[in-house]
Amino acid sequence: MDAWPGAVASARACSAGRGTRAPSRCPRARGDSARGAARPTYNRRMPHRDAFEVSALKSDSFGRIALMRDAAGEFVRRDLRHVPLWLRLPARWLARREAHALRRVEGMDAMPQLLQWDGRRLDRSYLDGAAMYQRPPRGDLAYFRQARRLLQSLHRRGVAHNDLAKEANWLVLADGRPGIIDFQLAVLGDPRSRWMRLLAREDLRHLLKHKRTYCPERITPVERRVLRRTSWLRNAWFATGKPVYRLVTRRILKWEDNEGQGPKP
């Protein structure tokens, strides 16, 4: 399954025409799984015209997500061309937010890498793994320790994911490591600001809730205190935003997948 939620230019192209004193800014290619296969090298501006669909991963009112393949390898595409006319503006806004966030996490391991965003299609690298609810990390303390370090690295980049309550946005990769996908609601900012620290704390609380579900005996006293102390942001969301969200998604858009979690195995 894909991490919906890489894109790296050729090292030859990156180094061409640069002086010896200029520092290299070429992103480093990383593997997608424990199988040892090197990630294909993509040019961000390559239109992938020879790509074909391998399988559909998700389709909703804000676009179609599909696993694609071209001469360079597999990648994931969010296609907005079939979005209803009245939803195109919010769908494009969400996809643009995801593209901005993926640029910020460029080069990070266990994160999808942006390949291309042309206003209608967003292409990003494929991560070999399964959603948390499909491959539950029961009793796997190492997974949650790595997930916390991954989250800290994300926050240091100035990115708050803002949607980690959904198990579908946490991956268990092929080698057992955690991965994070779906950055449509991500917020970017100064990681030292009060606002970003608050959002980072909410991301952490959501991770600890998953740890409490799958690894309850390893929750520490400090983590229990974090879980008990809710923020004003969380309280405001449940009092105002959550009812509106449910009205839109359940009544208008007819979503029935438990906020993207999907059926439990």
Q: How many CA atoms lie within 13 A of 207 on its CB side?
A: 26
pLDDT score at 20: 40
Q: How many CA atoms lie within 13 A of 185 on its CB side?
A: 11
pLDDT score at 241: 67
**Which of the 8 DSSP states describes residue 81?**
T
More confident residue, 207 or 45: 207
pLDDT score at 256: 55
The answer to whether 131 and 167 are in contact (CB under 8 A) is yes
pLDDT band at 60 (very low <50, low <70, confident <90, very high): confident
**Beta-carbon contacts of residue 246 (< 8 Å; ≥ 6 apart):** none
**Beta-carbon contacts of residue 35 (< 8 Å; ≥ 6 apart):** 128, 174
Q: What is the pTM of this model?
A: 0.75
pLDDT tens digits, 130-140? 999 999 999 99
Reading the block at residue 178, the tokens are 């955690």
Mean pLDDT of 109-113: 96
> Which stretches of the chain are assigned E, i.e. beta strand?
52-60, 63-70, 73-79, 114-117, 121-125, 129-131, 159-160, 170-173, 178-180, 187-188
pLDDT value at 97 more than 80: yes
Radius of gyration of the chain (CA): 19
Report how far residue 164's alpha carbon sits from residue 187's, in angstroms, rounded to the nearest whole number: 13
pLDDT band at 28 (very low <50, low <70, confident <90, very high): very low
Say what percent of the chain tops pLDDT 90: 63
